[in-house]
Amino acid sequence: MDSREDLTARARIRDAALRHFGEHGFDRATIRGIAATAEVSSGLVRHHFGSKEALRDACDAHLARMVSEINDRVRADPAPGEVNYVSVSLAAVGPYRDYIRRALVEGRAEPLFDKVVELSADWMAEADKKRSDRPVVTRQARATVSTAMALAVTMLHEHVSRGLGVDVFSPDGEDLLARVLLDLHSHPMLSPDEAAAMRARLPGKPRKRR
């Protein structure tokens, strides 16, 4: 959260909003509470942002900017074939995790999701080179679903933590999670033959690549 104490009031309000929205959700969070955290009056919040909705929009926009920067940094980074492209992004985005989680399930923060899909597609393009059979669906489609799956653990972290017996955001949890993901990602649920058979049994007419 920019960690400096001498931020403009506007920035302090925005950061406070990010925290409150993340912690309590948009509805439960109050302008007064945000103002208190930012150490300003509720009137000033209105002066700068106009309304609660607009304040949320400002939060989304700020996050999108940040994600763009992270995106560039990850791309520049030479770390090859890292499955953890999502973990990396999420780590960088750490303090905003709660906010992002809520935003995503509410269908907001589109630029954020789409950036991660791009990243995933890049990685997948590499993997596709080693692949013998031609994919039956576009890379974009596979990257999208793959991204959703990669975000699932974060989205459902309470349940995953319960199932794993350890908080997934703790060091132990991260370690265990990494091992689980490694196992899952190296052991396909279906053989190519099984997949083909199931695909043949699909109700819809055979369709074009989309």
Partner DNA sequence: GTCTATATAATGATAGAC
Partner DNA sequence: GTCTATCATTATATAGAC
- List contacts with DNA (CB under 7 A): 8-10, 29-33, 39-44, 46-48, 51-53
> C-beta of 16: minimal distance to DNA in Å?
12
104 binds, options DNA, a copy of itself, none, Cβ within 5 to 8 A by partner type: a copy of itself
Of 71, 65, 82, 195, nearest to 133 by C-alpha is: 195
**Nearer CB in complex with DNA: 33/95:** 33
10 binds, options a copy of itself, DNA, none, Cβ within 5 to 8 A by partner type: DNA
> C-beta of 195: minimal distance to DNA in Å?
48
85 binds, options a copy of itself, DNA, none, Cβ within 5 to 8 A by partner type: none
**Nearer CB in complex with a copy of itself: 45/104:** 104
**Nearer CB in complex with a copy of itself: 4/201:** 201
What CA–CA distance (Å, rounded) separates 135 from 141?
A: 11
- Listing DSSP states for 47-96 in one string gives HHHSSHHHHHHHHHHHHHHHHHHHHHHHHHS---S-TTHHHHHHHHTGGG
Q: Are 72 and 63 in contact (CB under 8 A)?
A: no
65 binds, options a copy of itself, DNA, none, Cβ within 5 to 8 A by partner type: none
Q: Are 7 and 15 in contact (CB under 8 A)?
A: yes
> C-beta of 9: minimal distance to a copy of itself in Å?
28
* CA distance to 50, 68, 92, per residue, from 73 (Å): 34, 9, 10
> C-beta of 46: minimal distance to DNA in Å?
4
Q: Are 17 and 60 in contact (CB under 8 A)?
A: no
